[in-house]
Structure 1
Amino acid sequence: MTMSTRKRHTPEQVVRKLAQADRLLGEGKDIADVCRELQVSEPTYYRWRNQFGGLKADDAKRLKDLERENATLKRLLADAELEKAALKEIAKGNF
């Protein structure tokens, strides 16, 4: 059995699928059957459970937005630090 190409799910989709998984598990299905029905691998299911376990859809979306903003700010800070270091070198006359 081969896996299809990788699919990105939105945080809202992940939370909905986790809610569906909870319902199916409550009906007595095992993890393998639930993952097959959700069309995700077991490692993906467990990663989602760890990352989005107790979140509601809007909380999950906010988390992803904050993670994206944080990455952007880190990149901007690194660029500013590089520029600052370059300006210090130029000010010393070591160019």
Structure 2
Amino acid sequence: MYGIYARVSTINQAEEGYSLETQIELCMKRIKSLGLSLSQVKIYREEGRTGEDIDRPMMNELREDIANGIIKKVVITDPDRLTRDLTDKLIV
């Protein structure tokens, strides 16, 4: 199964083209372009959470699903959507 992780921390981000819907749409297009099935996708939506702290509800669920072998690959629009901290990116 593939995971899509989308996060916005402010309303401004959503209004400037980085909305959750926009991120998810771009990730779905990427999955399709790779010839993968959209039926094997789980979406993790994180709204109003900063990228400075890795301890976020949907991030924690994503990390748990990866650890349990449920999610094999994660698709994101930008590495900063996961976290802004390099060490946390390596953890994920």
- Normalised by the shorter chain, which TM-score bucket? under 0.3
Higher strand share: 2
Relative contact order, higher structure (CA 8 A, sep 6+): 2
- TM value normalised by structure 1: 0.26
Structure with the bigger percentage of helix: 1
Greater gyration radius? 1
TM value normalised by structure 2: 0.27
